Amino acid sequence: MESVAAPPARGIPPAVTRSGSPRRIRAGAWAAFALACLWVSAALVYPPITKYPLYEPGLGGREGDVGQYVRMYQGVPLEQIARPFRYRVFTPLLARAVPPVPQPLLRYFDVDADKLVKYHFGIANLLGLTAAGLLMVALCQSLGFAALEGLLAAFLFYTSFPVVNSAGTPMVDAWAHAFLLLGLVAALRGSLAWLFVASLVGMLAKETTLLLVPAVLLLGGPPRAMARKLLALLPGVAAYAVFRFVLYPGGYGHAGDTGTAAANLVWRLTHGPYWAWILFEAVTAFGLLWLLAAVGAWSLRGPGRHPLLRLAWLVPAVLLVPFLIGSNIGRIWFYAFPAVIPLAVAGIRRLLEGSRVALA
């Protein structure tokens, strides 16, 4: 299988061999990374399970995101679930499959019906967050970063505002992030089987998995290899299209058409300092990582465009999405993280050059 190898570039030299291929991380190191990711993920999901109300108003309450996913978990027919939430079946079904709390533990916890729902979603999201952290390390390795730099990227992912704020709640973003990363790693390494899995299952986690299509085009490569990768993505996209437009096309849904979104945007911009809210959402998405990412992009310039710089063209596309569908700005913008976070790590590496501190 063809892969997109990261060419040697200023700012990321030590993580690639003389042949230009990424250095392999030993099995023992992967086991250590998995334990670290599992521990951090457990800390992220524990407060939403034990301390937050199930129908938190900030997450839409009973009629918003959380309410829709909880109803799916409870077995409400999909026709009665609002669009587009009804198509994001993976996490609610996984939460339903989580085993019950061990009986001996119940005597030590104040458990009610809402907490049991949060427990099932929390365990499902725990697995998704753990997978996402490991796949972030794998993505960075595939882009030519050292193992510790990949671990730093996972740390930046786990401490990002959208992850801390909502990844452990009854939402679907943890697994959506994981499948997006899986598809990118598969595309970079030329693994058609995993690209197929990422698309087929990931589209049922969240439609943001569709970002893999432009990502494959941006990463480039031999035309035949690109065509095979796009064909590997096709079954998942086709299955989602049938699911959405043939099997469950009707019913009510949240307004998300481009015309309504554009009209709302114009109204908001002309009736108050909406630009201040957009700035706030930009801060909640990545904060100061925007600046580090800019430094990282500058450090990777040079002949032979680095795959990370090609992938970075996803960022402006993602920034436009919430204005086209009228959705939450910060959470949608965070889906640019597979490019922004590695670029921020490259920026940190560039700033550390010449000092006694090294990540490699």
Note down pLDDT in tens along the chain; length 360 residues.
Answer: 455 544 444 444 444 433 345 567 788 889 999 999 999 999 999 999 998 899 888 777 788 899 999 999 999 999 999 999 999 999 999 999 999 988 887 777 788 899 999 999 999 999 999 999 999 999 999 999 999 999 999 999 999 999 999 999 999 999 999 999 999 999 999 999 999 999 999 999 999 999 999 999 999 999 999 999 999 999 999 999 999 999 998 766 665 555 566 666 676 777 677 778 788 888 889 999 999 999 999 999 877 789 999 999 999 999 988 887 766 788 899 999 999 999 999 999 999 986 656 565
CA 328 distance to own-chain centroid: 15
- 250: tokens are 């009707």
* 22 within 8 A of 16, measured Cβ to Cβ: yes
- C-alpha 355/C-alpha 339 separation (Å) is 26
Alpha helices for the chain (secondary structure H):
27-50, 65-73, 90-97, 103-106, 113-142, 147-158, 161-166, 173-189, 192-205, 212-219, 223-242, 258-270, 274-286, 289-299, 307-311, 314-325, 329-333, 337-352
- C-alpha 56/C-alpha 292 separation (Å) is 33
pTM: 0.89
- C-alpha 211/C-alpha 48 separation (Å) is 28
